Amino acid sequence: MFRIGELARRTETSTDLLRVWERRYGLLQPGRTQGGFRLYDDSDVERVRRMQAGLARGLAAAEAAAAALEHDGAGPVELLPALLSFDAERAETILDELLQRLSVESVLHDAVAPTLRELGDGWAKGDVSVAQEHFAANLLRGRLLGLARRWDEGLGPRALLACPPRELHDLPLVIFGLALRRRGWRVLFLGADTPFEVVEETVRAERPDVVVLASARARPSLADPALARIAESTRLVLAGRWPDAEVEAERLEGDPVELAASLEAPERASA
Amino acid sequence: MFRIGELARRTETSTDLLRVWERRYGLLQPGRTQGGFRLYDDSDVERVRRMQAGLARGLAAAEAAAAALEHDGAGPVELLPALLSFDAERAETILDELLQRLSVESVLHDAVAPTLRELGDGWAKGDVSVAQEHFAANLLRGRLLGLARRWDEGLGPRALLACPPRELHDLPLVIFGLALRRRGWRVLFLGADTPFEVVEETVRAERPDVVVLASARARPSLADPALARIAESTRLVLAGRWPDAEVEAERLEGDPVELAASLEAPERASA
DNA sequence: CCGATGCTGTCTAAGTTCTGTCCAGGAAAA
DNA sequence: TTTTCCTGGACAGAACTTAGACAGCATCGG
């Protein structure tokens, strides 16, 4: 347990703001010392983070607080165990319920993406078997692609999404695509293990406004000349883990949903 | 939920234009904050994008708006054929997509309930086989109950929902329950084929604010003395088809989602 | 071809709400 | 003693509200 100054430091906010979020939106309900000082724990850090994530996605403070509160508890806490125990029905039910209660964006940001991260960490540590990872990935992929139908329709700017050669983990890319779609983009999805030449051809044929290549675990080579040619003609974004090398491209790392929000900013600046 | 500035950002329009589209064509019907600020959700982004697509195709604004609004009703058209052809995957995908695009309420009201009605009519005419009806009902029930988890939690007034003896069609009741839940009610669901004595016991034990008995095809007897005893102690609502008889109860018929809305009115009047 | 009419997006103005920050006076913790 | 924290109110700027005005453009009748 720690006091408000420590919470402010850990979440990079001010004590004033934390108190006012408590007063106005009931975001936090800290315990008190004998003398009346507020006492917080780790779950409060999480809640503040969710609030901040909501603000970053463009919600008003009141809405962000409501979303952060509503989301309390559920989410990844329930979803991961269901997936690890191969309980498809329970996992589907949890997803159903989350999708009903929360927006697609919050489900992706607060439940699916964190679950995926924990899955990856568990796999790296050896706690999660290949079978478990495959089961989880396939169930989630099925569900997410169900949300992704017709995502090349409409008017917005167009993004071409692909994973580089040898990268088989396309789920973060799917999440990224869904988040973009929510924000009005059209999405051309090439998916896992896509040769750079294929990307290049598609760029020539379809003329997307931006090309996003996402690499989660593989460390693809940047030496391919096709990559350089893509970068010359189009805005190129490399998301995830890539080697350092001289390619004319933006680099992004972190949560796919937040990346999707940030991809928008340069568009606005130019408009 | 987000405010008008964020909607403008996401759809790359101006707040002015969004307000004027609302005023002139009723394109959007946002909720409001206490203080009167407009609040939008994901489905509004979709609607604006459809409007923009219409404009891009050369429609006049008024017509584009009409087209965008009309498209809201698509979906149910697709759902029934998928169910009748035993195509679980397609049906699930359609539901996924609808739930993403629209609110739970509109999915229930505009897609699930009409599909159920057509299914019932088809069965009555002999166009729909028992197998088809079972398949459809079970798929929908699974999906809807997935949305219905923890629907007895919270603070709101409490409704006890059941079908009378011999009535096996509980789906309208599930829809009704979900719609109530969306409106803040707590729901106690006893489901199909529930003896009146069981309802009576539960009423005594749980003291719900209202008891709703729904009968779709069976024509249950009202002679049971348990029914009269329930009516004496609690507000009793008989939904669907019931014989005429002297029981102290409100009678409701029609779309489950609309019934849920109408159930609320007396509560408010008393508040 | 002209003028009248209607549609549509933008702009204005005066007022309100929302939200982060700041402050004063006092008390608790280190 | 020094630092941290408490409450409650005040405040400024950003964001939003309504209602109407208006200019650019297309369409229509003459």
Q: What is the mean pLDDT of residues B64-71?
A: 89
Q: How far apart are CA A64 and CA A80, in angstroms?
A: 25
Q: What is the mean pLDDT of chain A?
A: 89
| % of chain B with per-residue pLDDT over 70 | 96
| Helices within chain B (DSSP H only) | 4-11, 15-25, 42-56, 61-71, 76-84, 88-101, 104-106, 113-125, 130-147, 171-182, 196-206, 225-233, 256-270
Report the residue from B1, B53, B145 with minimal CB separation from A155: B53
Report the residue from B2, B45, B143 with minimal CB separation from A59: B2
Q: How far is the CA of A114 from the C1' of C17 (A)?
A: 35
Q: Is the pLDDT of residue A45 over 80?
A: yes
With bands split at pLDDT 50, 70 and 90, how would you rate the model's confidence at B75?
Answer: low
Q: How far is the CA of B16 from the C1' of C11 (A)?
A: 9
Q: Is the pLDDT of residue A89 over 70?
A: yes
Q: How far is the CA of B28 from the C1' of C6 (A)?
A: 23
Residue A4's alpha-carbon distances to A7, A10, A15, A43, B160, in angstroms, are 5, 10, 6, 14, 44
φ and ψ of A155, to 5 deg: -120, -30
pLDDT one-digit tens code per residue, A247-261? 888 888 888 888 887
Nearest-by-CA chain B residue for A154: B53
With bands split at pLDDT 50, 70 and 90, how would you rate the model's confidence at A115?
Answer: very high
Contacts of residue A265, defined as CB under 8 A and 6 or more positions apart, other chains included, come to none
Buried b (16+ CB within 10 A) or exposed e, B197-229: eebbebbeeeebebbbbbbbebebebebeebbb
Nucleotide nearest to B6 (CA to C1'): D15
Nearest-by-CA chain A residue for B43: A182
pLDDT given for residue B3 in this prediction? 96
Q: CA dihedral in degrees (B217, B150, B144, B255; nearest 10)?
A: 50
pLDDT given for residue A271 in this prediction? 28
- B262 and B210 in contact (C-beta within 8 Å)? no
Q: Is B39 an interface residue toward A (CB < 8 Å)?
A: yes
CA distance B43 to chain A (A): 9
- B252 and B237 in contact (C-beta within 8 Å)? yes
Q: What is the mean pLDDT of residues A1-12?
A: 96
Q: How far is the CA of A102 from the C1' of C12 (A)?
A: 38
Q: Which residue has the higher pLDDT, B152 or A239?
A: A239
With bands split at pLDDT 50, 70 and 90, how would you rate the model's confidence at B264?
Answer: low
Contacts of residue A41, defined as CB under 8 A and 6 or more positions apart, other chains included, come to A1, A2
Q: What is the mean pLDDT of residues B232-257?
A: 88
pLDDT one-digit tens code per residue, B169-209? 999 999 999 988 887 788 999 999 999 999 999 999 999 99
pLDDT given for residue A73 in this prediction? 61
With bands split at pLDDT 50, 70 and 90, how would you rate the model's confidence at B267?
Answer: very low
Strand C contact nucleotides, protein CB < 7 Å: 7-12, 16-23, 27-29
| % of chain A with per-residue pLDDT over 90 | 63
Q: What is the mean pLDDT of residues A118-147?
A: 92
Q: Is there contact between B15 and strand D, defined as CB under 7 Å from any strand atom?
A: yes
pLDDT one-digit tens code per residue, B199-239? 999 999 999 999 999 998 888 888 899 999 999 999 999 99
Residue A226's alpha-carbon distances to A190, A195, A204, A210, A232, in angstroms, are 16, 9, 12, 16, 10
Report the residue from B3, B45, B143 with minimal CB separation from A184: B45
pLDDT given for residue B28 in this prediction? 95
Strand D contact nucleotides, protein CB < 7 Å: 4-7, 9, 15-18, 20
pLDDT one-digit tens code per residue, A58-87? 999 999 999 999 877 656 678 999 999 999
Closest CA to A27 of A62, A3, A60, A54: A62
